[in-house]
Amino acid sequence: MGIRTVGTRTAVAASAVLALATSTAACSSNASSSSSGSAGGGKVSLSYGVWDATQVPAMQKIIAAFEAQNPTITVTIQQTPWADYWTKLQAAASGGSAPDVFWMNGPNFQLYAANNVLRPLTDTDPHPDTSVYPPALAKLYQYKNVQYGLPKDFDTVGLWYNKALFDAAGVAYPTASWTWADFQAAAKKLTDPAKGVYGVGANLEGQENYYDTIYQAGGSVISADGKKSGYADPATVAGLKFWTDLVAAKESPSLKQMTDTAPLNLFESGKLAMYWGGSWDAKEFSGNDATKNGVDVAPLPAGVKKATIIHGLANVVFAHTSHPAQAEKFAAFLGSQQAAQIEADTGTVIPAYNGTQQSWVKAYPQYHLQSFLDQLPDAVPYPISKNTAAWNTLETTELTKAWDGSEPIDKAAGDLATAMNAALAKEGS
């Protein structure tokens, strides 16, 4: 062997050791800042940061319409895949070179708003009218009563079900008047261990599963001011118990099974009779032969009250943009009815602007997609705080113990409340 000399051996070992320590520092250096807009010849160019490639054609159409009305402004799209979007945006914002206007989501919003990365839209002229969007959605993008983002699109959660499995078990299809009791009875009847069929997939998933039931049970994930965890509330625990009971009764696959095979795939392969899923699943199900016409959707069952989690993206303006007036103008246009109509016609997302949503419903006539819109009056905003990601990690860690049966749900929820409150205390005001 060639590697014999002590010098080389030491060097190899030493450099391997050193390589490890480099990682944090390498990521900390700010992205070199470059001015994103240049005002050459009276023309202003803006950049628009997005992550979803399938929506780029629709965005391009909207930009074309905007540029036709504003000949002095040109807009270019900066598309970054989802996996890198937030890491890149965070680095770019730190270095002052974020796009002038970009997409924002609920969990990240307050982090950006609180750190003065976003430009408030309150002094914009004309003042944006947020009453044209679902109220829960407009509120999602308010921080300390200041509006920072205009809703772009939204999604709610519904009860998807497999028609053939319902027919076989002789259970009537879910309706808008279903309660938890109806749901639980159906889950029990639909479960068939011999065939490996379960009533529902009790996924350890906030938005599509336990957040909905927490609010249906009258509980909360986080207090209205975003400072205190709601997990110690007995009503919240009841919302969680809804799912752990289903797992314990084997009317749902175990957490281990669902880690191996995602509930969505189990539902698509006919192993789950019911699946709590988003409005975004319509596109997925319509593209799969097994679910194209074999499934349908109803509103979520009611607990103490009706509730569904609403979440949607917003367009926000970068606080340090070199062209604030033009950027605000573009953001306002993105939130307009004209832009929403263009989005609706493409059929990929539900536009946020009220009255434009019907085109999306019509795009998939085989499903009762109206169920998603009918739930809007009961919609609860996606729970967030300034550093949502920190306690999202805690939710997974603590609730896992209740889902796999190693801890009773009230203990797991209590531990979670303590840990989450500690994380929230670190956020400061």
Identify the residue among 61, 404, 408, 421 touching another protein (CB under 8 A): 404
Report whether 217 contacts 304 (CB < 8 A): yes
Candidate segments 21-29, 209-217, 221-229, 409-417, binder of another protein by CB under 8 A: 21-29
Q: Decide: is 83 part of the binding site for another protein (CB under 8 A).
A: no
For residue 332, give both structure tokens.
């306002």
Rounded Cα distance between 260 and 202, Å, is 14
Q: How far is the CB of 398 from another protein (least distance, A)?
A: 11
Report whether 317 contacts 93 (CB < 8 A): no
| 132 vs 157 by CB, closer to another protein | 157
Q: How far is the CB of 12 from another protein (least distance, A)?
A: 7
| 13 vs 181 by CB, closer to another protein | 13
Query: Which among 257, 71, 286, 66 is positioned nearest to 160, based on CA atoms?
Result: 286
Residues in the chain: 429
For residue 219, give both structure tokens.
């509980």
Rg (alpha carbons) of the chain, rounded to whole number: 24
Candidate segments 25-33, 175-183, 236-244, 294-302, binder of another protein by CB under 8 A: 25-33
For residue 297, give both structure tokens.
């959707």
Query: For another protein, what does the binding mask look like between residues 175 and 204, x meaning CB under 8 A?
Result: -----------------------------x
Rounded Cα distance between 75 and 46, Å, is 5
Rounded Cα distance between 175 and 194, Å, is 28
| Helix, strand, or coil (residue 197) | strand
Report whether 119 contacts 331 (CB < 8 A): no
Query: For another protein, what does the binding mask look like between residues 250 and 279, x meaning CB under 8 A?
Result: ----xxxx-xxx------------------
**How many residues of this chain interact with another protein, rule: CB under 8 A?**
52
| Helix, strand, or coil (residue 142) | strand
Q: Decide: is 418 part of the binding site for another protein (CB under 8 A).
A: no
* Cis, bond preceding 126 (omega within 30 deg of 0): yes
First and final C-alpha spacing in the chain: 61
Candidate segments 11-19, 33-41, 53-61, 309-317, binder of another protein by CB under 8 A: 11-19
| 25 vs 224 by CB, closer to another protein | 25
| 83 vs 224 by CB, closer to another protein | 83
Q: How far is the CB of 177 from another protein (least distance, A)?
A: 33
Q: What is the DSSP string of 332-395?
A: HHHTSHHHHHHHHHHTSSEESSTT-THHHHHH-TTS-THHHHHTGGGEEEPP--TTHHHHHHHH
| 57 vs 405 by CB, closer to another protein | 405
Cα 96 to Cα 70, 83, 91, 240, 267: the distances in Å are 26, 21, 9, 42, 45
Cα 420 to Cα 112, 383, 401, 415, 425: the distances in Å are 20, 13, 16, 8, 9
Query: For another protein, what does the binding mask look like between residues 28 and 47, x meaning CB under 8 A?
Result: x-x-----------------
Q: How far is the CB of 392 from another protein (least distance, A)?
A: 8
Candidate segments 10-18, 182-190, 307-315, 360-368, binder of another protein by CB under 8 A: 10-18
Q: Decide: is 348 part of the binding site for another protein (CB under 8 A).
A: no
For residue 164, give both structure tokens.
């053939």
| 143 vs 403 by CB, closer to another protein | 403
| 92 vs 171 by CB, closer to another protein | 92
Q: How far is the CB of 208 from another protein (least distance, A)?
A: 13
Q: Decide: is 117 part of the binding site for another protein (CB under 8 A).
A: yes
Rounded Cα distance between 111 and 123, Å, is 21
Q: Decide: is 325 part of the binding site for another protein (CB under 8 A).
A: no
Residue with token string 């079900």: 161
For residue 364, give both structure tokens.
């998939």
Q: Decide: is 421 part of the binding site for another protein (CB under 8 A).
A: no
Report whether 199 contacts 233 (CB < 8 A): no
Q: Decide: is 26 part of the binding site for another protein (CB under 8 A).
A: yes
Identify the residue among 63, 73, 93, 331 touching another protein (CB under 8 A): 93
Identify the residue among 60, 338, 396, 418 touching another protein (CB under 8 A): 396
Identify the residue among 172, 389, 422, 425 touching another protein (CB under 8 A): 389
For another protein, the binding residues (CB under 8 A) are 1-5, 7-13, 15-28, 30, 87, 90, 93-95, 111, 115, 117, 204, 254-257, 259-261, 387, 389-390, 393, 396-397, 400, 403-404
